[in-house]
């Protein structure tokens, strides 16, 4: 299956592997998307959120963000990958899962779809949004404990997603 590579429905196609679920948000639902990106060595990309971010300050995070009203999850995924890294979404390999969570920002319940994806671009030089992120790194199995820095006990969504990606490649 192929889908437009960015909002507006034009541009490079994104391949979506067979069986990958892409939910369609219902009216009034707030959705976010996340992308676990692996390099050729099988390490996962994560970026550290800035200390002044309202949600999850100074924590490691995968690429992703909010789905805008009227935007599909795939378009949001492609947009977020490009905005946060400068890379282009090429392939959606699998859905890791859908979680529901409520942030402490007063914006209510969110549904989050997290995917294992492949991208095109210079993986050694992501174009981070430095106003929002302070660092990036590639995480292998030995690096997983760092993903729980500045997280409360039990708040290990990013750690668990990356650990699963590293095990299930």
Name the pairing type of β-strands 13-16 and 133-139. Answer: unpaired
How confident is residue 108, by pLDDT bands cut at 50, 70 and 90?
Answer: confident
* Among the listed residues 90, 72, 73, 89, the one whose alpha carbon sits nearest the alpha carbon of residue 81: 89
Q: At which residue do the structure tokens 């795939």 appear?
A: 74
Q: What is the mean pLDDT of the chain?
A: 89
pLDDT of 7 > 60? The answer is no
> In the predicted model, what is the mean pLDDT of residues 8-34?
85
* Among the listed residues 1, 167, 22, the one whose alpha carbon sits nearest the alpha carbon of residue 91: 1
Give yes or no for a contact between 51 and 143, defined as CB atoms under 8 angstroms apart: no
Of the chain, the percentage scoring pLDDT greater than 90 comes to 69
Give yes or no for a contact between 30 and 161, defined as CB atoms under 8 angstroms apart: no
């Amino acid at each position: 299956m192929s889908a437009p590579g960015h909002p507006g429905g034009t541009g490079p196609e994104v391949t979506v592997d067979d069986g990958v679920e892409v939910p369609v948000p219902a009216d009034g639902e707030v959705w976010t998307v996340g992308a676990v990106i692996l390099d050729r060595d099988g390490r996962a990309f994560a970026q550290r959120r800035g200390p002044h971010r309202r949600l999850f300050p100074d924590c490691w995070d995968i690429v992703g963000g909010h789905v805008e009203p009227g935007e599909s999850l795939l378009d949001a995924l492609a947009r977020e990958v490009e905005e946060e890294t400068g890379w282009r979404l090429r392939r959606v390999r699998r859905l890791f899962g859908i979680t529901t969570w409520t942030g402490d920002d007063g914006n209510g319940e969110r549904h989050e779809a997290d995917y294992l994806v492949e991208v095109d671009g210079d993986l050694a030089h992501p174009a981070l949004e430095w106003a929002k992120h302070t660092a990036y790194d590639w995480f292998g199995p030995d690096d997983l404990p760092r993903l729980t820095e500045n997280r409360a006990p039990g708040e290990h969504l990013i750690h668990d997603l990356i650990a699963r990606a590293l095990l299930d490649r």
